[in-house]
A and B are shown apart, each in its own frame.
Chain A
Amino acid sequence: MNALAFRAGLRASAKVALGLVVIGCGGVVGDAADSGAESLADASVPRDAGKAETALAPEAAIPATDAGLSDALACNAPPPSSLLPEGSNLDAAAAIDTATFDCCAASLEALLPADAGTIFQFPDAAAPDPALAACCAVVVMRLDHDYTVVENGDPDAAEATLQQDQTTAAPVRWACCNVAGHPEGPTCTPWGPPVPPDMPRGEVA
């Protein structure tokens, strides 16, 4: 089994499980590469069947914390179309500098409530903002580029950069994968996804 196949398998199950439980998006689990298969599966699912988990998804209750999103995301991020779809713009991904990446990660994190931890969806109010999509593309593609360098270049130096970038982007990584449409690269595949926070005690009781 090659690495791509391994990743494709994991990615498929992650979309089914993480996509429904955490993202709460019902049958809307798109995948351009596999749209045929997933459409077949979607066709068997009633369109209103996802309402229950949507209501239960913890992220659904997270309020927007900043009305001026575009201002907050002013990091000189290139337009998403220059970075995505993944694989066609490797040079652009390599050109994302640390300052832009750090600015984007920090700005995106600022959209979240202070104690949100790792989340899988940005507040609804933030979703339409084009600056959010641009910064998410920066986060995802910079990490993808880091992985590529680790695999193909100088592992020691690149590993340190990858570790640092992973730490920086950890709170927003999975939400950005959602915004970016789960591109094929290693960032949005379920390699070592962070463990979601525990349910609060009050909720459990």
Chain B
Amino acid sequence: MLLDLRSEARPLAPVLPRLPHLAASARATWTGRMVNEHASARVFEALADQMDLAGLEAALVEQCRSFADEERLHGALCGGVVEALGGSAVAQALVAKPFPCHDDATPMEGVLRNVLSVSCLSETVAVSLIGAERAEMPAGELRDRLTRIWADEIGHARFGWKVAPGLLAGLGLVARRRLETYLAVAFAHLERHELSHLSLVARPPPEGIALGLCSGADARTLFYATVTEVIVPSLESLGIAASEAWRRRLAWS
């Protein structure tokens, strides 16, 4: 199925620095971001539905649902960059995978698993990666755009870290142990996902940062640092054996 965001993206095309030798690489990068961001809307919609079914308060459910709108906007914002680079905001859409309902767990435990995976893991890593890219990027319309996206990602990650303690408080010992097993699985999934998007052969020239082109190797280093120095200690502070889960991820890789 094609994802066609041309009508939304074209009015959003930013003014970019002229770096024609990097345009093709930048188009590929921003097209990938467009596809991924747009697909994430489904994730937040499904998570909001799951939270609603589990009986979480309506304000939290609606907040989560609003993240889907933000992800769709991010898709268009990224598509605008593709258009500004001389490309077209059309690409093969990601195949929609079923959202896990975790029928083996209580409704709240199921929500917590998904909140950990989506917000506390994936979106927290995104905050690091985008934050680093933004820190290097020179001032301009693209940096402003990245700042807007980054701000939303901060909100998405923050949501998980806010919700998780309350959900966790309702879990008994057995459920916590199950959660730690799930966390190992989620870590393995996160690692596979991130490494697949952070190519070791991506070594753009220094001026590439002006178009959002980053070193894949550096980004991988930052990914691992974020997991081991931020996410794991934060989960540990909640009483989750996250260090052990990070070690055990290897069994699920």
Contacts and interface: CB of A to CB of B under 8 A. Distances in A.
A204 B239 contact: yes
21 contacts: A5-B132, A5-B133, A6-B222, A9-B133, A10-B222, A12-B131, A13-B131, A14-B229, A17-B124, A21-B238, A26-B162, A40-B152, A40-B155, A41-B155, A44-B155, A46-B63, A53-B162, A192-B229, A193-B233, A204-B173, A204-B239
Nearest to A11: B131
A33 B157 CA distance: 20
A161 to B, nearest CB: 23
A185 to B, nearest CB: 15
A1 B218 contact: yes
B193 interface: no
A37 B150 CA distance: 7
Given A13-B127, A52-B166, A45 B230 contact: no
Given A44-B152, A190-B230, 5 more contacts: A16-B157, A37-B154, A50-B162, A195-B236, A199-B238
Given A1-B218, A8-B132, A44-B66, A20 B124 contact: no
Contacts of B243: 195
Contact of A8 (B124, B135, B154, B173): B135
Contact of B222 (A9, A36, A52, A205): A9
B12 interface: no
Contacts of A1: 132, 136, 214-215, 218-219, 222
A170 to B, nearest CB: 14
Contact of A190 (B125, B152, B219, B229): B229
Give the interface size class of chain A. 35 or more
Contacts of B239: 198-199, 203-204
A74 interface: no
Nearest to B159: A45
A40 B154 CA distance: 9
Interface in B57-87: 59-60, 63, 66
B160 to A, nearest CB: 9
B127 to A, nearest CB: 4
Chain A to chain B: the 4 pairs with minimum beta-carbon distance, closest first: A9-B132, A199-B239, A40-B151, A12-B131
